[in-house]
Amino acid sequence: MAPPTRNSIVGATRGIDTVADFLRRSPVDGEHTQHTTTDLLADVDGDRASVSANSLVHYYRDGRAPHQTSGMRIAGTLARTAKGWRFSEVEIMLAWLRTD
């Protein structure tokens, strides 16, 4: 199986360590996010699956109300491995953005 790939509006990363490092970093010091993910769909075909979901993301700083909210569309491909289902590719698409 190829290394996991993440594509988004801020670029692409390849490999589990690179993807994990990207997810740990925040582009704004002290900013956090809270995600609510809904409408999860999976189309399974043997050892592969196409998946999609919607995500509402609130951006906030400690002790403060969110200052930004966005709607995201997530799509990806999973592969069944000896360790279970694993993402092989994920695409994150910005649907809308509201800054308060």
Q: What percent of the chain has pLDDT over 70?
A: 84
Number of domains in the chain: 1
Which CATH number characterizes residue 78's domain? 3.10.450.50
Q: Which residues, in sequence order, are bridge partners of residue 80?
A: 85
Structure tokens at 62: 């400690």
Give 14-38 pLDDT, tens digit per residue.
777 777 777 677 567 788 889 999 9
Q: What does pTM read for this prediction? A: 0.72
What was the pLDDT predicted at 6? Answer: 54
Which positions ≥6 away from 77 have C-beta within 8 Å? 48, 49, 50, 51, 87, 88, 89
In terms of residue numbers, what domain contains 81?
5-99
The pLDDT value recorded for residue 17 is 78
